[in-house]
Amino acid sequence: MKYCIIVPDGAADRPCNELDGRTPLQAARIPNIDEIARIGRLGLVHTIPNGMYPGSDVANLSVLGYNPEDYYTGRGPIEAASMGVDIMPGQVAFRCNFVTVADGLMIDHSAGHITNKESAALVESLNENLGSEQIRFLPGVSYRNILLFTGVGEFEVECAPAHDILGEPIEKHMPKGKGADRLQFLMERSTEILGDHDINRVRLDLDQNPATTIWPFWGGGPLPDIPDFQKRYGKTAALISAVDLLNGLAKILGMTRINVPGATGFIDTDYEAKGRYACDALREHDLVFVHIEAPDEAGHSGDAVDKIKALEQIDEHIVGPVHDVLKATGDYRILVLPDHPTPVELKTHTSDPVLFAMCGTRVVSLREVEFNEENAETADLKIERGHDLMEYFLTSNLQ
């Protein structure tokens, strides 16, 4: 039995005025995903436990079959794990974005989706000027980096995700709580260091948003103690993603991480390469988990057109080829679902349940409908605890 889970991050949405009351999923041409919904089962699942922030970390823990209420310790330690940094006692890791602030307003949560090379050079400069035995900056993917503290005491801070405050004054969203003064000091100093950096001068000359400051958030405690995926579910597994969060989860769960050249975590990612690598991985592993960040980024930008484009690319270059390979192998199951909604008119995540569709061996269709939020609302298959979906996908007879 072969299994594949395909996660178009943030794909779920709400009716959009610019799409005449349709959602991006309703407006997109996605025949391969629609086929899975028609020949299989369509449903709704709550990936965000009540009271938890609807981040991709919490949501993907649920999708991978782990209760975030039991295992979540913060995003920083997970992303650090993807870089080979295990958080030790006395260390605290924060996700640390490069952002664009102008006239006191949060203009861009990604500094114009700065390149890996540019970001790494800026991180090096921050370490040269601010780094010490207690403070270290670690380069990640694009604007997503890590700020690591060692032996500076506890943090109990409230930090606002940058993508949630676009267009708003940053002053009212600065870190608050125990240890916030350390973060605010580094933010102020980073503004001075980055302001005169050659990379930002070139970006301005090219009419690109510069990285004007760091924005730390999603702090955490120790590396979470989570059971190995194969031991828990009895399946060898591989994961494909361009973002450190998912790669960190893969490392913690003992899943094989597959690096795909050309995968960017943005709208310009190489969808065809992701699909090809996923097909190849199915030859070696029982289960392949494919995560695509592009719809989420389009949602944060409020760009319905880009979101539709991303969904159509995922359908054509990933879902279609992977499903064809699975059908040729014999017994199989395929599952498609967003981890959480990122509505383009809100530009942020919500805790609403997300739609999912699965088909394959011993999955019998009850009604032939397309993959969209409206149809999922009337589905008979509703899963209240997101982490139960994995067991349901792997073992249940849906007849």
Residues 35 and 156 in one domain: no
Final residue in a domain of this structure, among 163, 195, 217: 217
Residues 20 and 120 in one domain: no
Please report the pLDDT score of residue 293 as a whole number: 97
Final residue in a domain of this structure, among 186, 217, 248: 217
Q: What is the C-alpha separation between 269 and 313, in angstroms, rounded? A: 10
Residues 162 and 28 in one domain: no
Residues 92 and 198 in one domain: yes
Please report the pLDDT score of residue 220 as a whole number: 62
Please report the pLDDT score of residue 399 as a whole number: 59
Strands (E), 232-316: 237-240, 256-258, 287-292
Residues 125 and 51 in one domain: no
Asked whether the beta carbons of 333 and 39 are under 8 A apart, the reply is no
Report the mean per-residue pLDDT for the chain: 94
pLDDT over 90, % of the chain: 83
Q: 143, 145, 112: which is closest to 130 by C-alpha? A: 145
Q: What is the C-alpha separation between 61 and 169, in angstroms, rounded? A: 32
For residue 211, count CB atoms less than 10 angstroms from its CB and return exposed for 0-12, middle for 13-18, buried for 19 or more: buried
pLDDT over 70, % of the chain: 98
The count of domains in the chain is 2
- The torsion angle over the Cα atoms of residues 233, 235, 236 and 240, rounded to 10 degrees, is -70
The helix/strand/coil state of 340 is coil
Residues 254 and 131 in one domain: no
Tokens of 318: 């990933």
Q: What is the C-alpha separation between 365 and 232, in angstroms, rounded? A: 29
Sheet holding 287-292, edge to edge: 256-258, 237-240, 287-292, 2-8, 332-336, 354-360, 41-45, 381-383
Mention every residue, 6+ apart, whose C-beta is less than 8 A from residue 376.
42, 43, 44, 355, 356
Mention every residue, 6+ apart, whose C-beta is less than 8 A from residue 283.
none
* CB atoms closer than 10 angstroms to residue 295: 30
Alpha carbon 398 to chain centroid, angstroms: 29
Residues 271 and 306 in one domain: yes
Please report the pLDDT score of residue 329 as a whole number: 92
Residues 67 and 153 in one domain: no
For residue 388, count CB atoms less than 10 angstroms from its CB and return exposed for 0-12, middle for 13-18, buried for 19 or more: middle
Q: What is the C-alpha separation between 270 and 354, in angstroms, rounded? A: 25
Mention every residue, 6+ apart, whose C-beta is less than 8 A from residue 132.
none
- The torsion angle over the Cα atoms of residues 48, 54, 60 and 61, rounded to 10 degrees, is -60
Residues 340 and 245 in one domain: yes
Please report the pLDDT score of residue 159 as a whole number: 85
Residues 210 and 237 in one domain: no
Q: Which domain holds residue 118?
A: 81-217
Q: What is the C-alpha separation between 56 and 245, in angstroms, rounded? A: 8
Cα Rg of the chain (Å, integer): 21
Give counts: helices (H), strands (E), the chain. 16, 15
| Residues of the chain under the 70 pLDDT cut | 218-222, 398-399
The amino acid present at 40, given as its one-letter code, is G
Final residue in a domain of this structure, among 217, 248, 283: 217
pTM of the model: 0.85
Q: What is the C-alpha separation between 153 and 172, in angstroms, rounded? A: 25
Task: Residue 375: give its domain's CATH number.
Answer: 3.40.720.10
Residues 53 and 101 in one domain: no
Residues 299 and 238 in one domain: yes
